Chains A and B, each alone.
Chain A
Amino acid sequence: MAAKRKTPIKTRNPDLIRGVGKYSRSKMYHKRGLWAIKAKNGGVFPRHDPQPKAPSAAEKPPKFYPADDVKKPLLNKRKPKPTKLRASITPGTVLILLAGRFMGKRVVFLKQLTSGLLLVTGPFKINGVPLRRVNQSYVIATSTKIDISGVNADKFDDKYFTKEGVKKKKKNEGEFFEAEKEDKKKLPEDKKEDQKVVDASLLKSIEGVPDLKAYLAARFSLKSGMKPHELVF
Chain B
Amino acid sequence: MPFKRYVEIGRVALVNYGKDYGKLVVIVDVVDQNRALVDAPDMVRSQMNFKRLTLTDIKIDINRVPKKKTLIDAMEKADVKNKWENSSWGRKLIVQKRRALLNDFGRFKLMLAKIKKAGIVRQELAKLKKETAA
A interface with B by C-beta (< 8 Å): 94, 96, 106, 142-144, 211-212, 214-215, 218, 220, 230-233
Contacts and interface: CB of A to CB of B under 8 A. Distances in A.
B112 A214 contact: yes
B17 interface: no
Chain A interface helix/strand/loop/mixed: mixed
Interface stretch (B42-50, B87-95, B96-104, B126-134): B96-104
Nearest to A212: B105
A218 B107 CA distance: 12
B102 to A, nearest CB: 7
Contacts of A232: 100-103
Contacts of B103: 142-144, 232-233
Contacts of B105: 94, 142, 144, 211-212, 215
B112 A96 contact: no
Interface size class of B (residues with CB under 8 A): under 10
A218 B100 contact: no
17 contacts: A94-B104, A94-B105, A143-B103, A144-B105, A211-B108, A211-B112, A212-B105, A215-B108, A215-B109, A220-B104, A230-B100, A231-B104, A232-B100, A232-B101, A232-B102, A232-B103, A233-B103
Contacts of A214: 108, 112
Contact of B109 (A142, A211, A230): A211
Contacts of A94: 104-105
B104 A218 contact: no
A226 to B, nearest CB: 9
A214 B102 CA distance: 18
Contacts of A96: 104
A142 B100 CA distance: 15
Contacts of B109: 211, 215
A54 B101 CA distance: 77
A7 B112 CA distance: 68
Contacts of B100: 230, 232
A233 B108 contact: no
A142 B112 contact: no
A96 B103 CA distance: 13
Contacts of A220: 104
A218 B112 CA distance: 12
Contacts of B101: 232
